[in-house]
Chain A
Amino acid sequence: MMTQWQALEVLARKRGGQVVITTMSAAGIWPKLSDSPLDFHYIPSAMGHATDVGLGLALAHPKRGVIVLNGDGCMLMNLGGLVTLAHQNANVVLIILDNGLYEVTGGQPTAGTGRVHFADLSRAAGIRRIFTFETLESWQAGVDEVLSDPGPAVVWLKVEGRLGQKTPQPPKLMRQQIERLQKALGIG
């Protein structure tokens, strides 16, 4: 199994011109690996809705595409979002960082820890490009294929859970993030 830091480090090296949306645990790590105006840290958030925000952005900018860094807890709160994503056939790469925990609340297990199969759920929802990586080596070897075609795609990454984490704070205020992102997208 890999750490979240290792998993995101691999992505940061390979990410192109896509918008990257982070939430929860990933939002605490990604700003240490990337400071692009196309990074959007969805904090404060409505838990579970990063996928939806990514879908909307991808529909607005289909050629650019969007990468959403979601947690397993967030994913479980909005499984219907997988169906909507598949139906819209939008250019979203949804990365599920599965540590089996609600990490920022003290490390409590989710309702489905150890039993939920996010790849099967995604397939049943209608997603066709689905990837599962359980080791750092396999993720390093597979990331290029993941990013080689447009979404929708779901990437299920099994990562180590961490205890003692606090709710991450975004490096910039929401208003500043929106202004920066929209400027990078040529809006306004």
Chain B
Amino acid sequence: MINGPELVAALKQCGVSHAIWIPDTTLGAWEEALSGPEGLPLIRVCREGEAFGVAAGLILGGKKPVILIQCTGLFEAGDALRNVVHDMHLPIFMVVGVRSYLAYRDGATMDSCPVFTEPIMRAWQIPYVVLDERHTAADLAEAYVQIQAEKRAGAVLLAE
């Protein structure tokens, strides 16, 4: 799985200016690297919908933020996502932790998060890639670069 220092290094290499987040158990392991002296300006929001609005303002202002949230927050933030992606047409990049994805793949969970995350991404017309324990920060950076090159919104779903 991607660790914090590797994530930060990859995002900085991509030119990411800010990280906007609400951590989950997996993303939370990145806290030290993100908020440390070699980290990124870290914007802690109270609810995931806020993250999309703040990211929109940063992009309007010429910055390159990334949103880091869990799928539960993505479900809550649907209208904000819709507005920023489909009304404002801004190239939002988000990393979404998918709770229980790995256990669901093995038939070992009753958690409904993995059932709905990918269908919701398709419903909101957000292109995405799924990264699991085999992937590295370089794979995440590659997804970011591709999305930026195509000037569209996109997501990395992080299998948890």
**Is B57 an interface position by the 8 A CB rule?**
yes
Chain A: interface size category: 35 or more
CB neighbours of A182 from chain B (8 A):
60, 62
- CB-based contact A56/B54 at 8 Å: yes
**Is B49 an interface position by the 8 A CB rule?**
yes
CB neighbours of B46 from chain A (8 A):
80-81, 83-84
With contacts A59-B18, A88-B43 taken as known, whether A54 is within 8 angstroms of B49 at the C-beta atoms is no
From A50, A57, A60, A174, B87 is in contact (CB under 8 Å) with A174
**Interfacial residues of chain A within 54-86, with CB under 8 A of chain B in the complex:** 54-61, 66, 78, 80-81, 83-84
**Interfacial residues of chain B within 43-59, with CB under 8 A of chain A in the complex:** 43-47, 49-59
A55, B47: Cα distance in complex, Å: 14
Stretch at the interface among B75-83, B94-102, B112-120, B136-144: B75-83
- CB-based contact B62/A56 at 8 Å: no
CB neighbours of B88 from chain A (8 A):
174, 178
CB neighbours of B84 from chain A (8 A):
46
**Is A129 an interface position by the 8 A CB rule?**
no
With contacts A52-B50, A56-B55, A59-B18 taken as known, whether A46 is within 8 angstroms of B82 at the C-beta atoms is yes
- CB-based contact A49/B52 at 8 Å: yes
Instruction: Tally A-B pairs: CB < 8 A.
Output: 108
- CB-based contact A52/B57 at 8 Å: yes
With contacts A46-B80, A59-B43, A84-B43 taken as known, whether A185 is within 8 angstroms of B50 at the C-beta atoms is no
A47, B55: Cα distance in complex, Å: 16
* A159-182 Cβ-contact flags toward B at 8 Å (1 or 0): 000000000000000110010011
- Apart from A53-B56, A178-B88, 8 more pairs, CB < 8 Å: A56-B55, A56-B56, A56-B61, A56-B63, A78-B49, A81-B53, A84-B44, A182-B60
